[in-house]
Chain A
Amino acid sequence: MVAGSGLVLLLLIISLLAPWLAPFDPGKIDLTNVLASPSMNHWFGTDQLGRDVLSRMIWGARISLKVGFVATGVAIIIGTILGAVAGYYGGWIDSVIMRFVDIMLCFPTFFLILAVIAFLEPSIWNIMIIIGLTGWMGVTRLVRADFISLRERDFVQAARAIGAGDLRIIFLHILPNAMASILVAATLGIAGAILTESALSFLGIGVQPPTPSWGNILTAGKDNIDIAWWLSLYPGLAILITVVGYNLLGEGIRDSLDPRLKK
């Protein structure tokens, strides 16, 4: 967990300080210096337009985190509301919501995302929202399970006895008790969203050039696979490290919240 939060913090700092950390302008084209291999001047080399890869990766960190946070935020909000309503009310409301979850889970997520992108423009905002809209089902199940086990507890009965309304009970009494598992799902969700975004950008249907993203630098890596290994190596390593960081953090939070794992 310490390593995970360290990595996550480091990435946050890098993306916040991108304008000061990046040695070059990420969009500056230098056609006299295309596909230059890593050197003292360009640590990670240059791409097919002579742009500095390290600078593009530093700015790309911003994009990745932005997509990760917004997409996960969308998924968590939808998942929490639907899961809370299903778990709290039960009955036919629960059945309808959970059948909807079952139906959504039948679609290979990547297919659904691609199909929606075919109809919309692949802009960064669309990508974030689409990843969020196709990733809330797990959260719904999780929150629902928490709500089912919490709704009969004494503190909920007490709140009801003093006349608290449903909305108040759901959001002020039960939800804070379900926050722990939501937090874990959110942390792991950010990792998943970053992976999805990088895959989409790699395929050319995510973040569009010239905006730098780790995924679209890798596209250039594939196009120049036989001559410029640095374009393929470093951005992927950045994705790997980021995802490892969020996964470590998420699992760390989960373990520290799970009393069964305490010795």
Chain B
Amino acid sequence: MLKYIGKRILFMIPLLLGITIICFFVMHLAPGSPTDLQTQMNPKASAQMKERLQTLYELDKPIHVQYWSWLKKISHGNLGISFSSDHRPVTDKIMERLPITIIINLLSLFIIIAIAIPLGVLSAVHQDSLFDKIAGVFVFIGFAIPTFWLALLLMIFFGINLGWLPISGLRSLNYEYLTPWAQIVDLAKHLILPLFISSFGGLAGLSRYMRANMLEVIKQDYIMTARAKGLSERDVIYKHALRNALLPIITILGLSIPGLIGGSVIFETIFAIPGMGQLFYMAVMARDYPTVMGILLIGAILTLIGNLIADVSYALADPRIRIS
């Protein structure tokens, strides 16, 4: 098992290098050098800013030298200084916002699993029933609905018409004066809509996948064997079939991580949640390049870590993987 994990980690190194190369490429995508762009596009860009960009990316040196020195900097966790008026290190700005984004994403992952799996299993077991058909329509709409629009509608309905839920931020203005219990309720109320929105898209995909898996597994010979042994339908479905149908779900969850992280830009911006997604959006709008590059890199590394966790959990769950 340890050998397997070691191998997976070794596999990550070329991917990580590739990620840095693509980030570096994006940075040089702009016509001319980023400093030219900075001064042309942004009338507020000062000569001092231009100089800062020069030293950060060492743009006067040959391209492989630039890449190497940038790589050395980021390997020390130095992502440069933000262009925004606070002039703080990008690493600090990201790190103070990262926990919120990760917690919300983990919570939505949990919600997705808790709802999508039973939904998929029930749809498969009662294939073509009324329940299956309703779930099918729900899934289809889930695939097609723009989540930011759904967020707007929910804000209008629950936030404005009914006035039940707050529509922006994580805390009310009077948060400091609330009792600890009321603070938790306040936070939970602020989280309901963002969590609903961030899980909605993934929900449709996963439940559909679970249904297809379950239908596939039910056709297998070992299920027929289990039935032939005279096991109850309940045991056949929930012990024999479910376990095997659940395995590939681990991989799918791993694959859904980039989508979740990417989606955080949208819901954090709409609901004004001070996470990494909102920081990214603000950095893009302000052309704060060091922050943009830093978050792009962190987003890819988070995906890589998520995939590693998925691979390892798969190997833990399925002995066939770690032997081969």
Chain A proximity of B248: nearest CB distance (Å):
16
| Given A117-B284, A198-B146, A247-B144, A107 and B296 contact (CB-CB distance below 8 Å) | yes
CB distance from B252 to the nearest CB of A (A): 14
B224 in the interface, Cβ–Cβ < 8 Å? no
Find chain A residues with CB under 8 A from B307 CB: 106
Interface positions of B from 251 to 268, Cβ below 8 Å from A? 258-259, 261-263, 265-266
Q: Of B19-27, B46-54, B62-70, B187-195, which binds chain A?
A: B19-27
Report B-chain residues with C-beta under 8 Å of the C-beta of A199: 146-148, 266
Tell me, in angstroms, the Cα distance from A195 to B281 when the chains sit together. 18
Alpha-carbon distance between A221 and B307 when the two chains are bound, in angstroms: 37
Question: Looking across the interface, which residue of chain B has its beta carbon closest to that of A122?
Answer: B284
Among the listed A198, A205, A225, A236, which residue makes an inter-chain contact with B284, where contact means beta carbons less than 8 Å apart?
A205
Q: How large is the interface on B (under 10, 10 to 19, 20 to 34, 35 or more residues)?
A: 35 or more
CA distance A119 to B48 in the complex (A): 20
The one of B146, B156, B296 in contact with A240, judged by C-beta atoms closer than 8 angstroms, is B146
Cα distance, A248 to B160, chains bound together (Å):
34
Q: Are A114 and B30 in contact (CB under 8 A)?
A: no
A240→B145 CA distance, assembly (Å): 5
How far is A121 from B143 in the complex, measured between Cα atoms in Å?
Answer: 30
Partner of A99, one of B14, B153, B263: B14
Count chain A residues whose beta carbon lies closer than 8 angstroms to a beta carbon of B.
45
Q: Is B303 in contact with A118, judged by CB distance below 8 angstroms?
A: no
Stretch at the interface among B106-114, B119-127, B285-293: B285-293
B34 contacts the other chain (CB 8 A): yes
Q: Are A218 and B15 in contact (CB under 8 A)?
A: no
CB contact under 8 A between A114 and B281, given known A102-B15, A199-B148, A222-B152:
yes
Stretch at the interface among A20-28, A69-77, A167-175, A226-234: A226-234
B295 within 8 Å of A (CB atoms) = yes
Among B276-313, those with CB < 8 Å from A are 280-281, 283-285, 287, 289, 292-293, 295-296, 299-300, 303-304, 307
A191 to chain B: closest residue by CB: B144
Given the known inter-chain contacts A114-B281, A205-B284, please indicate yes or no for A222 contacting B270, CB distance below 8 A. Answer: yes
The reply to whether B284 and A108 contact each other, CB–CB distance below 8 Å, is no
| Given A225-B155, A232-B152, A111:B261 Cβ within 8 A | yes
Question: Assuming the A-B contacts A108-B262, A199-B146, A244-B144, are A119 and B303 also in contact, with contact meaning beta carbons closer than 8 angstroms in the complex?
Answer: no
Give the residue among A115, A202, A203, A243 with the most B Cβ atoms within 10 A: A115
Q: Are B296 and A111 in contact (CB under 8 A)?
A: yes
Q: Contact check, B141 vs A240: say whether CB atoms are below 8 A apart.
A: yes
Chain B residues near A9 (CB-CB < 8 A): none
Q: Determine if B37 and A119 form an interchain contact, defined as CB atoms under 8 angstroms apart.
A: yes
Closest to B261 in A: A108
* CB-based nearest B residue for A202: B148
Determine whether the beta carbon of B18 is less than 8 Å from that of A111: no
How many angstroms from the CA of A248 to the CA of B283 in the assembled complex?
37
Instruction: Specify which of A112, A232, A240 is in contact with B26 (CB 8 Å cutoff).
Output: A112
Q: Is the pair A120, B29 in contact by a Cβ cutoff of 8 Å?
A: yes
The reply to whether the CB of A157 lies closer than 8 angstroms to some CB of chain B is no
A100 within 8 A of B: yes
Q: Which residues of B contact A205 (CB under 8 A)?
A: 284-285
Nearest A residue to B296, CB-CB: A115
A106–B34 contact, CB under 8 A?
no
Given A240-B145, A240-B146, A244-B141: A99 touches B18 (CB 8 Å cut-off): yes
What are the interface flags for A92-126 relative to B under an 8 Å C-beta threshold, 1 for contact and 0 otherwise?
A: 00000001101111111111101111111100000
What B residues does A102 contact at CB under 8 A? 15, 18
Could you tell me if A203 and B15 are in contact, using CB atoms closer than 8 angstroms?
no
At the interface, yes or no: A204 with Cβ under 8 Å from chain B?
yes
Decide: A118 near B284, CB < 8 A? Known: A103-B15, A106-B300, A236-B153. Answer: yes
Q: Which residues of A contact B (CB under 8 A)?
A: 99-100, 102-112, 114-121, 191, 195, 198-199, 202-205, 218, 221-222, 225-226, 229, 232-233, 235-236, 239-240, 243-244, 247-248
Rank and list the top 10 A-B pairs by shortest CB-CB distance, nearest first. A236-B149, A110-B262, A108-B262, A103-B18, A243-B144, A108-B258, A119-B30, A118-B284, A111-B299, A108-B261
Residues of B bordering A, CB below 8 Å: 14-15, 18-19, 22, 26-27, 29-30, 34, 37, 41, 140-141, 143-150, 152-153, 155-156, 160, 167, 258-259, 261-263, 265-266, 269-270, 280-281, 283-285, 287, 289, 292-293, 295-296, 299-300, 303-304, 307
